Amino acid sequence: MKRLYKALACRLGEKIPGLQRIDIFNQQYVDSQSDYPLLLPTVFIEFAQVNWETMSDGIQQGVVEIKFHVCQEIIGDTFLNGTDWEENLDLFDLFDEVHLALQDWSPQDEDNYLATQLNRIATMFDHNHTNLLVTEMSYTANLCDDTVNKAKNLIDINAGLNVERDGEIL
């Protein structure tokens, strides 16, 4: 999951340079006693439950739901004919930017693809905050985890192997 998180965070940072923070979701905007200030706009990445199925040789495949918590400050009037109404509605543009960065994109790192294409499955608006607009955008993707298989194929360089050439131990 570390590699997948890094790929997602880097993608958002690259495609949306105006983001002030990209982080793992840990109730930051819910808990006002957080150790870090809530810099806006920000996106928090949350991994929901993954249901794994073992394929063979320790390789597992699963479907993951990834929630992106898009947080922005509501500064001005958003009601019809309010002051700077049209300009204040630009806050919806960030949802589009996040979606354009993620939809149909396959996370990958220097080794290989980490997941299949991301597909948006839901959008939920959180209305429980004053002057803070939080939108949860959920995507799914298929994962393949070969961690166990890779670990089985590692060579222990401290295993005490003797290498001989022409009867002489090197």
> What mean pLDDT is reported for the chain?
85
For residue 159, tell me if it sits in a domain: no
For residue 30, tell me if it sits in a domain: yes
For residue 161, tell me if it sits in a domain: no
Dist. CA 129–CA 34, nearest whole Å:
15
Dist. CA 30–CA 48, nearest whole Å:
18
CATH code, domain with 125: 3.30.2000.10
13-22, 72-81, 122-131, range with the lowest pLDDT = 72-81
What does pTM read for this prediction?
Answer: 0.82
98-102, 137-141, 144-148, 166-170, range with the lowest pLDDT = 166-170
Residue 34 has pLDDT above 70, yes or no: no
Residues 6+ apart with CB under 8 A from 147: 58
- Three-class HEC string of 59-112: EEEEEEEEEEEEEEECCCCCCCCCCCHHHHHHHHHHHHHHHHHHECCCCECCCC
The count of structural domains within the chain is 1
Structural domain containing residue 54: 2-150
For residue 117, tell me if it sits in a domain: yes
